[in-house]
């Protein structure tokens, strides 16, 4: 693999990281993702599933802690390095890239708490884990609240009429949690811990949430059946049920005062950035497949690529990849470097990059003709995986509500770089 990177200041370390991540994506992720994709959700979770080999190898290489700071045992990658690696992982498999990210999200989220005891108890052992045995997931979506949970800026968000499915009540030194998170929780079936958003103060509506860490072996926690779905089938998803689950008070590391604006916005800004980067990788994977096929397939007496109309289509695919990379990288560098991320930019990156990645996946199928629809070629999987990105981490049209910032008194926004 080699492609021109429009950055003349990449260091030798950056380039090595990219090469190593690409090798992992090609040799480990691609074949395992395809196997998982063709299995039933239950088979994909069985003891002899190749899923476990993926987790073990990813952890061995430290990809679960790449963005964790060195002080807690992470690799301390720069935002640019995180972008470089995540793009390769997205190229390898969008679903497995998500699985790996949700595995670290609770332990990364705990860094927001500033609570050293919790960081020592959970984050440090997670970073030290090199066999994939500690795995997180992130549960915000509920059966009755999908887009609602992402609706900050909308009137309903702070309405006391919004009652969440998962409630937490303080009893002495413990929080008692009851309710259900939706079947969409990525990695729930394989997770050992969840970073969970329960409602604490209904008088504040969806802004009355907290964020806590819950070890999933606690009494009262049960998991639903793995979800069967069209795309990202290599990513397991399932419900989480909480029946009088008790956690120590300090495990609720964010309470409503610091939720929104605050930790909620920072988490969403980060997850959307990841979505935009993996989409860049998937858009590139689709481009690669289409280009290779167009060079081989002969119609009209010459390879497809030699037809002007085809060259224009391939050029447009290439342009989408470059657009995705430029936008996602700019937002990653910016939003992971400033104290308070500008969430509208993360939303722009997520919506544009997922849309362009879907367009590329769609066009790749079309360029391969009938072959593009068959399991013999990667394009049909890329197409299904890309379709899910338009909904995942917030429906794109709903995220466009971030456009509400234009009405705010603080627009145009500015930042003091100190």
Ligand X SMILES: Cc1cc2nc3c(=O)[nH]c(=O)nc-3n(C[C@H](O)[C@H](O)[C@H](O)COP(=O)(O)OP(=O)(O)OC[C@H]3O[C@@H](n4cnc5c(N)ncnc54)[C@H](O)[C@@H]3O)c2cc1C
Residue 390 C-beta: closest distance to ligand X, Å: 9
224 binds ligand X (CB under 6 A): no
237-248 vs 221-223, strand pairing mode: antiparallel
186 binds ligand X (CB under 6 A): yes
Among 180, 232, 276, 379, binds ligand X (CB under 6 A): 232
Tokens of 195: 């970073």
106 C-beta neighbours (distance < 10 Å), count: 29
With contacts defined by CB under 6 A, how many residues of the chain interact with ligand X?
A: 20
Among 72, 185, 283, 290, binds ligand X (CB under 6 A): 185
Using CB atoms, what's the residue nearest to ligand X?
146
Contacts of 326 (CB under 8 A, 6+ apart): 6
- SS3 label, residue 16: helix
Residue 158 C-beta: closest distance to ligand X, Å: 14
Of the candidates 155, 151, 73, the one whose C-alpha atom is nearest the C-alpha of residue 108 is 73
Q: Which stretch binds ligand X (CB under 6 A): 31-39, 182-190, 325-333, 371-379?
A: 182-190
Q: Which stretch binds ligand X (CB under 6 A): 26-34, 71-79, 178-186, 200-208?
A: 178-186
Among 73, 125, 146, 153, binds ligand X (CB under 6 A): 146
Q: Do residues 331 and 346 make contact, with C-beta atoms less than 8 angstroms apart?
A: yes
Q: Which is nearer to ligand X, 264 or 293 (CB)?
A: 264
392 binds ligand X (CB under 6 A): yes
Determine the Cα–Cα distance for residues 208 and 257; give it in Å rounded to an integer: 8
Burial of 256 (0-12, 13-18, 19+ CB in 10 A): middle
Determine the Cα–Cα distance for residues 167 and 180; give it in Å rounded to an integer: 9
- CA 111 to chain CA mean position, Å: 18
Q: Which is nearer to ligand X, 149 or 317 (CB)?
A: 149
147 binds ligand X (CB under 6 A): yes
Q: Which stretch binds ligand X (CB under 6 A): 160-168, 339-347, 385-393, 404-412?
A: 385-393
- SS3 label, residue 133: coil
Among 102, 211, 273, 285, binds ligand X (CB under 6 A): 102
234 binds ligand X (CB under 6 A): no
298-299 vs 237-248, strand pairing mode: unpaired
Query: Residues interacting with ligand X, by CB under 6 A?
Result: 102, 138-141, 146-147, 150, 184-186, 232, 388, 391-395, 397-398
């Amino acid at each position: 693999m080699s492609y021109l990177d429009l950055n003349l200041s990449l260091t030798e370390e950056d380039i090595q990281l990219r090469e190593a991540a690409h090798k992992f994506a090609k040799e480990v992720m691609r074949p395992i993702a395809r196997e998982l994709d063709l299995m039933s959700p239950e088979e994909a979770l069985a003891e002899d599933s190749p899923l476990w080999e993926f987790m073990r190898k990813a952890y061995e290489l430290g990809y679960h802690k790449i963005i964790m700071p060195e002080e807690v045992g992470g690799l301390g990658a720069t935002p640019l390095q995180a972008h470089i690696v995540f793009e390769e992982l997205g190229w390898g498999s969008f679903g497995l890239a998500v699985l790996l990210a949700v595995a670290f999200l609770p332990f990364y989220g705990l860094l927001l708490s500033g609570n050293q005891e919790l960081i020592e108890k959970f984050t440090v052992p997670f970073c030290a884990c090199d066999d994939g045995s500690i795995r997180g997931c992130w549960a915000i979506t509920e059966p009755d609240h999908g887009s609602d949970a992402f609706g900050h800026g909308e009137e309903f968000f702070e309405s006391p009429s919004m009652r969440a499915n998962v409630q937490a009540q303080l009893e002495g030194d413990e929080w008692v949690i009851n309710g259900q998170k939706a079947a969409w929780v990525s990695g729930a079936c394989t997770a050992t811990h969840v970073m969970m958003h329960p409602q604490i103060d209904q008088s504040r509506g969806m802004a009355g949430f907290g964020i806590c860490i819950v070890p999933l072996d606690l009494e009262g926690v049960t998991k639903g059946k793995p979800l069967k779905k069209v795309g990202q089938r290599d990513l397991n998803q399932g419900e989480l049920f909480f029946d009088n689950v008790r956690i120590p008070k300090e495990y609720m590391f964010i309470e409503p005062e610091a939720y929104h604006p605050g930790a909620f916005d920072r988490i969403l800004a980060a997850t959307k950035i990841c979505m935009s980067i993996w989409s860049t990788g998937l858009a590139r994977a689709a481009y690669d497949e289409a280009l290779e096929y167009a060079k081989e397939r002969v119609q009209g007496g010459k390879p497809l690529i030699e037809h002007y109309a085809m060259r224009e289509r391939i050029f447009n695919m290439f342009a989408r990849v470059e657009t995705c990379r430029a936008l996602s990288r700019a937002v990653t560098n910016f939003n992971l470097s400033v104290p308070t991320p500008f969430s509208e930019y993360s939303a722009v990156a997520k919506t544009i990059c997922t849309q362009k990645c879907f367009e590329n996946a769609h066009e790749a199928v079309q360029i391969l003709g009938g072959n593009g629809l068959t399991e013999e070629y990667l394009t049909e999987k890329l197409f299904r995986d890309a379709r899910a990105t338009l909904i995942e981490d917030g429906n794109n049209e709903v995220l466009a509500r971030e456009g509400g910032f234009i009405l705010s008194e603080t627009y145009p926004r500015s930042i003091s770089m100190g």
